[in-house]
Structure 1
């Protein structure tokens, strides 16, 4: 915009003032020569006559133009334009020798058009420098925000930022630090609330279990105990979820293929239909207990809701990939994005047929994210679900 405005204004000024080009500037020199010759005829003592033309490098282009102009005016002269000490000098031949006179510099080759281009280039470079300076100041807070978001840890909290730099960056850093503190307080309050609720449920659940034991009707007693067991599992899962979100257990290097193989053998002894179809050697860094719990939840989910589970472990460049497939009915496409929400059920009518608190996938997702990995759940090409877990692999 700045360059466009300057270009238009410069063009208008050039049009109004109409500066001469090189050839147009020759005409005043021809008039000057004619005037000097008249002065020499009227008052020869006023004109300094030299025996030879001025030294220096001859300007053939200007000399030729000036001679042509004089010839067209009816007074041909073999004048010479030379440059001495970087200054133009005009030598005019007369009867007794040469008249030497300095002349002003003519417009540069190309005339005003080249000057205009140079002027616009200077304006463009100046405007670019100013624009980059202000753009850099405006972008710095955004860069700070981007780096802060990229450094968000598995606990979804922003790191404490150092308050240094320009005023804009300091203001942005203070705002992000304040936001981080408020988020931390809110998350800690939520975890305390869930943990307290799960813990406080233990006492009434225990009392309900004792009372249920005295119900005389066997069928009623079994139903009461089943509901109480489900309440107990919900309380345990809620407390476990809070522990995973706030846990600070140190990671360790472990063989993921061995861990999955052990889980498959364990679940098969518990009558789950789980099959290991591929097992590549893969080493990851994570907490063994937590990662084992996450994959146990995923495998049980596939074997329970999907009838059977097929699991494979693949090593791909810098990632270890675990794929769990089942033969179940899958999840409606409009609900697939809710699978990691607490207490999610794809089919509420079928909930009573399966045990569980509905927090297995939520806990598994929390554990995998804490290990810097991801879980993707999608419907298979024909039927069932495909659960894909990717974890950073350690170099061998």
Structure 2
């Protein structure tokens, strides 16, 4: 099954390397390369015999061990603790342990095989002692955690749906709290919030295509991966922009050298929507921009005549009537060639995924009724599309494919 990525990005700087699907030898080779470059492991995941890790700038000693028995792990930690090393990543699965130790100081407590009540009792004991959770693992109802010195507020929640998690994060963000731990268990989310500041973006159940796009955009914004976990069953970041259960044809897919989807438009899609078809929001967001009363069409496949005249290069008339939605994380989705006066929303409207926002048409530079759809990471550039996937199948359909929406019905 394809891995899904659960990720938190926070302000940071310098180099970042992220690799996944590594064999044990691949992982050793990467770490041996990065260590002398002054990079250290900040997240480690071992799943089904493959390794995923994030490296950021750091210094000092680093020890990494895996496939440890409980006694092996205890012995290693007992050796490293008096050397001034503390656990920064912990993995427990099927009775084996993996961990990363870095320089640190002060008290450290590590417990595993805890029930929910055991975990609550431990945290209630350690919190007034000035200890906070730095690693948390929940698997099939059992808890493991690491506590280190810290201060200020701490909130810990588990068994959350995506909506539960998003609501809590909005509340805590406004209170000056940021995610310090994010992990998954059987499709549910668990997280720890502690005092922090600055920008924070997070996503979960992301396909590798969407994860790469998000990480590339956030890196340019000065953000780095603060938490990474792998889960099951990725879901596309966007849904097809029409009614669920309805099938339409892809007129043009990605990277079409014979068409217009190349260069900055490489990741755009044209869908053959008959005129007047409801266009639905591919993702929840805010209406940021629109144009709605254009009537002219230029068909580039027909001779130029007084009634079929090209628009100036760079003119927004080429898009015809259009809507732009802004989404979390600085991403926008664009819907072009809407019919005259066919926009159904206003600038500033908050729209849900699946909400009708316009009626398809044939305005602007267009040879037939269709919807041009693309996602961008920076709406100040009116053409630069980015890669993304659609729906529960995480699809990137090719030209000529018939695709069925799983958006709202």
What TM-score comes out, normalization by structure 1 length?
0.20
Tell which structure's C-alpha radius of gyration is larger: 1
Instruction: Looking at secondary structure, tell me which structure has more strand per residue.
Output: 2
Instruction: Looking at secondary structure, tell me which structure has more helix per residue.
Output: 1
Bigger relative CO (Cα 8 Å, ≥ 6 apart): 2
